[in-house]
Structure 1
Amino acid sequence: MIRPASPEDATAFAALYNPFVLNTTVTYELDAVSADTMAQRIQAKQPEYAWLTLEDRHAILGYAYYGNFRERAAYHHVVESSIYLAPAACGRGLGRMLYEALIARAQEQGYREMIGVIALPNPVSIRLHEALGFVPVGTLQRSGYKFGRYLDTGLWQKALTPPTQAPG
């Protein structure tokens, strides 16, 4: 089941997210995130932006969200997305299902473009984004530094509405 996230999900989200923080380069966050911090992040983004929870039999298997891409007002129609899945959810089509729900929510809210920001290399994330219609639009070289090495960041973009429509 996919449902809107709430601050009550924060403990499960932090438990799911922190192994990515501490053991991988898929996020550029360096320190584990507390449940309180995660709850604040969820509350700060809603209702303007969306956080979604993927749940099966009361177990949280993943979450996805979008927020502002950049602070300047001219970017107000563009959102940046993120998705995190528990290992048990991978390879079952659940990530695609969750991301499709996130895209639909962004379209319902009138956003025009979605940006996937991917720490490179990450072939699994690239495959997911491209399967959902995102196209690569650029690479920021040496933009992250984690575990003693520089990392590149890839940008993938998806049009949510026809480009002929002016932002609302």
Structure 2
Amino acid sequence: MSSERTEVQVRPGVESDLDALTDIYNHYVRETPITFDTAVFSPEERRPWLLSHPEDGPHRLMVAEERDSEGTSQRTQRILGYATSSPHRPKAAYATSVEVTIYLAPDAGGRGVGTLLYKALFEALAGEDLHRAYAGIAQPNEASVRLHERFGFRYVGTYREVGRKFGRYWDVAWYEKEL
């Protein structure tokens, strides 16, 4: 057994993260109804998405990475997941609302990574001119519901059978949080 210790750090996402972030997202495209995208993306196709989340402003990208914490130097081992705040809707009156989401590497769940990501995201958004955050959770997804409720989101309603993927229809439960 290795004595090497690791820690998780959260930081703003950067362009060099694009390949790893695309790999994480594509897992959910291929394997789950969590996203309603049905075709995988190349990193180049995902670049506009990444660039739409600068290090400041209301639309952020926070990345959790696992780092080797032995000794004095730290090197990134891998990206465990990411959280974003994105425009809720494109019309100007929605500018003070964001939609938030988290995607974790398939083996990173249950380790508190989602909690670290949302904590960092909401701290980063605290000084922004924002009023509400919204999250759409494809059902069933109890882990995501628990995470959002832990951060003060409250259930506001369900779009029934709103998306079709893998030959069936899926509900999306919507949650909101005051910012």
The answer to whether TM tops 0.5 is yes
Taking the aligned partners of 1:105 and 1:113, their CA distance within structure 2 comes to 14
What TM-score comes out, normalization by structure 1 length? 0.91
Taking the aligned partners of 1:110 and 1:100, their CA distance within structure 2 comes to 18
Taking the aligned partners of 2:30 and 2:135, their CA distance within structure 1 comes to 21
Provide the alpha-carbon RMSD of the alignment: 1.2
- 8 A Cα contact 1:143 1:152, kept in partner: yes
How far apart are residue 62 of structure 1 and its match? 0.5
Instruction: After TM superposition, list the pairs within 5 Å mapping 1:24-103 onto structure 2.
Output: 24-46=32-54, 47-48=56-57, 49-57=59-67, 58=76, 59-103=78-122
Taking the aligned partners of 2:125 and 2:168, their CA distance within structure 1 comes to 34
What TM-score comes out, normalization by structure 2 length? 0.85
Taking the aligned partners of 2:131 and 2:94, their CA distance within structure 1 comes to 10
Give structure 1 regions of 4+ aligned residues with deviation exceeding 4 angstroms.
none
User: Partner letter of residue 36 of structure 1?
Assistant: E
Q: Structure 1: state its 5+ residue gaps.
A: 161-168
Corresponding residue of 1:152? 171
SS in 1 for 2:52: helix
User: Partner letter of residue 44 of structure 1?
Assistant: S
How far apart are residue 91 of structure 1 and its match? 1.0
User: Partner letter of residue 136 of structure 1?
Assistant: Y
- 8 A Cα contact 1:22 1:31, kept in partner: yes
Taking the aligned partners of 1:105 and 1:93, their CA distance within structure 2 comes to 19
How far apart are residue 72 of structure 1 and its match? 1.4
How far apart are residue 93 of structure 1 and its match? 1.2
User: Partner letter of residue 34 of structure 1?
Assistant: S
Identical positions, percent: 38
SS in 1 for 2:38: coil
Instruction: After TM superposition, list the pairs within 5 Å mapping 1:108-147 onto structure 2.
Output: 108-147=127-166
Is 130-139 or 101-110 further displaced after alignment? 101-110
How far apart are residue 39 of structure 1 and its match? 2.1
How far apart are residue 75 of structure 1 and its match? 1.0
Q: Aligned residues, how many? A: 160
SS in 2 for 1:16: helix
Q: Structure 2: state its 5+ residue gaps.
A: 1-8, 68-75
- 8 A Cα contact 1:8 1:39, kept in partner: no
Taking the aligned partners of 1:149 and 1:88, their CA distance within structure 2 comes to 26
SS in 1 for 2:110: coil
SS in 1 for 2:126: helix
